[in-house]
Amino acid sequence: MGAEQQATAVRSDESVRPASAGSVQSVHSVRADAPGTATAVAHPNIALIKYWGKRDERLILPRTDSLSMTLDIFPTTTRVRQAPGADRDEVTLGGKPAEGDARQRIVTFLDLVRERAGATHRAVVDTENTVPTGAGLASSASGFAALAVAAAAAYGLDLDATALSRLARRGSGSASRSLFGDFVVWHAGREDGTEEEADLSSYAEPVPTGPLDPALVVAVVNAGPKDVSSRAAMRRTVDTSPLYEPWARSSGDDLADMRRALGRGDLAAVGEIAERNALGMHATMLAARPAVRYLSPATLTVLDAVLGLRRDGVAAYATMDAGPNVKVLCRNADADRVADVVRAAAQGGAIHVARPGPAAQLLDEDG
Ligand code: PMV
């Protein structure tokens, strides 16, 4: 499909779907810094119903719907400037030139934006992550969400939040959810139509919730790099794990239960569902051939501490992603107590406490 048709497809998508509930209005209410230049900020998110498994590796279409909470900590700020005359994209991460796979993923993403915009100029991209190295919070979600918003604005693509979430998805699946604040669902999209219909129908949007005042306590039990990337682990699990299909089916039920629990503001139910969904995801990996095991003895120690909190009447529930670190969902009022217990169990690992965070935003010149 040519650039013209791509851009048309994005616009027609917007005309049929109402703009998503207000949370990213700011994306459209401010202007880019200067022609061809834009700066955006986005926050990480943690899935309560996990995205695990793709059905299309190129378009990054997931096998299942997922649902997350955007955090109010560790934003990524990304500036994109068109660079007429440059013969390659210049990409820096935290002031250092990006290399290898990290650079390639960003260049491939910029190529997609240029194709849609009918643009040819290379870009200068500066990204500042505030996530401490090895914090156990992947920066790819906030990173590609910020890049999608900044690059679309810098190249003059006028996309609504839904279309921006689809664009961010192409950088990293979980990035689609960081376009929005608070609780967010990412639809797997239609499987019965054309490739274009599948692409158009796989987007994120906010999830309405009842009164919830949650906190997420992040326990970093191992800050080192992981042996197997989430991309590779996902692929191996889908291809070889006999537990994958049953988990994918039950994850659909978990999502329906989760929406109801969020709607009535039932934090204990939200936590229970999130915990069983995450443990199920890890079970699929343990059954992969060869097994992918991210959970370490320290992870299990923290999980025991979470069980101990529950025995003492504190609503605390754990979730883990593609790594050994544990995120504990609890009531904001209990966050200090949960953090103390988790800190003791995490044996010196760093503890971060997050609350629901904001949508991605395009910044004006003053930030
Ligand atoms: O978006 P990726 O490719 O980094 O995959 C993220 C997968 C999990 O973090 C394990 C689950 C999720 O839904 O975020």
**Mind listing the pLDDT tens digit for each residue in 25-64?**
344 333 445 679 999 999 999 999 999 999 999 999 999 9
Q: Are 237 and 155 members of one domain?
A: no
pLDDT value of residue 33: 53
User: Of 209, 242, 259, which residue sits at a domain end?
Assistant: 209
Q: Which of residues 209, 236, 271 is at a domain's end?
A: 209
Domain edge (last residue) among 174, 209, 244? 209
CA distance 33 to 30: 9
CB 187 within 8 A of CB 165: no
What is residue 143's three-state secondary structure?
helix
* Rg, the chain, Cα only: 20
Residue of minimum CA distance from atom 10 in ligand 1: 321
182 and 55, same domain (yes or no): yes
Same-domain status, 158 and 235 = no
* pLDDT digit string, tens, across residues 228-252: 899 999 999 999 999 999 999 999 9
Q: Which residues line ligand 1 (CB under 6 A)?
A: 47, 50-52, 66, 138, 140, 172-174, 230-231, 321-322
pTM for the model stands at 0.91
Residues 226, 290: one domain?
A: yes
Give the pLDDT score at 136. 67
Range of the domain at 321: 214-354
Residue at 255 is within a domain: yes
> Which atom of ligand 1 has the smallest separation from the CA of 231?
3
Q: Which residues of 33-50 are buried (b: 16+ CB within 10 A; e: fewer)?
A: beebbbbbbbbbbbbbbb
pLDDT above 70: percentage of residues in the chain: 89
Q: Is residue 364 part of a domain?
A: no
Mutate to test the pocket of ligand 1, among 58, 321, 327 (most ligand atoms within 8 A of CB): 321
pLDDT digits (tens, 9 = 90+) for 289-327: 999 999 999 999 999 999 999 999 999 999 999 999 999
**How much of the chain exceeds pLDDT 90, in percent?**
84
pLDDT tens digits, 333-365: 999 999 999 999 998 899 999 999 999 999 976
Question: In terms of pLDDT, which residue wins out, 365 or 198?
Answer: 198
